[in-house]
Amino acid sequence: MSAARFALLPDRGLVRVSGPEATHFLQNLLTRDVEGLTAGEAAFAALLTPQGKILFDFLVLKDADGFLLDTPASQIAALVKRLGFYRLRAKVTLEDCSATHEVAVVFGDALPAMPLAPDVLAATDPRLAELGLRVAGPKGMANVLEGLGLQAAEPADWHAHRIGLGVPEAEMDFAYGEIFPHDADMDQLNGVSFRKGCYVGQEIVSRMEHRSTARKRFVRVETAEALPAMGSPVLAGEQEVGTLGSSSHGRGLALLRLDKVKAALDKGVQLTAAGTALDVTLPGWARFTWPESGSGAGAEGA
């Protein structure tokens, strides 16, 4: 058991999307259904390229005035520009709120009640409840959260928690524009709706889902030593089967070709990265399984 803590996330920023047509605007662009969100709720979603790859991803926080998109701070300007490209004549306002607002996360066991000011949003992380509460509000939230009896933690502590749960994150585990939502496990982490209408890149994502052609997945890796850097190749013998993502204290994430890894493990071949032996497991929340020998994509579990 670990006491609930909070961490400010200075590497995250916020974009406000508001206006009378904000919901319709986002609904037509994003991988996730946002029409049903009520104030205080959140969704996990992405904006894709026309080819179906992740261009941006974010947590969508709903408040009374519209939406806040919680996304990497380094991508704020590019995201606002891209959304502006799609806005056309829609009655939508886009605003970078990063100069006045910040993002925090509350994580650990026995999360407390969060009696916060009206201008502070706190929502259960829509990817996985065990990730904790996502909080967005005016700068100075550390004082507010400490006032609730929460102990301050570092961003590295939060990422260690995230990595232990097996949840990948953009810029920590993969680069934008290079992988599909299925590769990033977004279909497993409530980031893709297969019942909503069309959105940018939807045809490719739907095809991967219905044909079960997702071959790459993020999984957990572990070693007794420190893991090599993000982007290091993962090898099965001499064959490259994937790349490492983020890591903390010997635990990490890796984007792997499940069929190739399963074939190697069945033959007793050790996975390595930069000469370091790796143990690999599927995240506990995963609905996909190791593929049958000779098949391609990982099967969906019950």
pLDDT in tens, 244-260: 999 999 999 999 999 99
Identify the band that residue 298 occupies on the pLDDT scale cut at 50, 70 and 90: low
- Per DSSP bridges, beta strands 5-8 and 151-152 are parallel
In a 10 Å sphere around its CB, with 0-12 CB exposed, 13-18 middle and 19+ buried, how is residue 24 labelled?
middle
Shortest CA distance to 272 belongs to which of 245, 240, 249, 247? Answer: 240
Which percentage of the chain shows pLDDT scores above 90? Answer: 85
Cα-based angle 151, 155, 158 (whole degrees, multiple of 5) = 75
CATH of span 5-165: 3.30.1360.120
CB neighbour list of residue 134: distance below 8 Å, 6 or more residues apart: 42, 59, 61, 70, 103, 104, 105, 122, 123, 124, 125
What pLDDT shows up at residue 241?
A: 98
For the chain, which residues make up each domain, given as ranges?
5-165
Q: Which one-letter DSSP state was computed for residue 295?
A: -
Output the average pLDDT for the chain.
Answer: 93
Shortest CA distance to 91 belongs to which of 31, 199, 17? Answer: 17
Q: Which of 32-36, 98-102, 112-116, 154-158 has the lowest mean pLDDT?
A: 112-116
The Cα–Cα gap between 112 and 151 comes to 12
- pLDDT (average), residues 126-130: 97
**Tens of pLDDT along 114-125?**
767 778 999 999
Residue 218, amino acid: F
The Cα–Cα gap between 195 and 16 comes to 26
Cα-based angle 145, 147, 150 (whole degrees, multiple of 5) = 55
CB neighbour list of residue 129: distance below 8 Å, 6 or more residues apart: none
What pLDDT shows up at residue 300?
A: 53
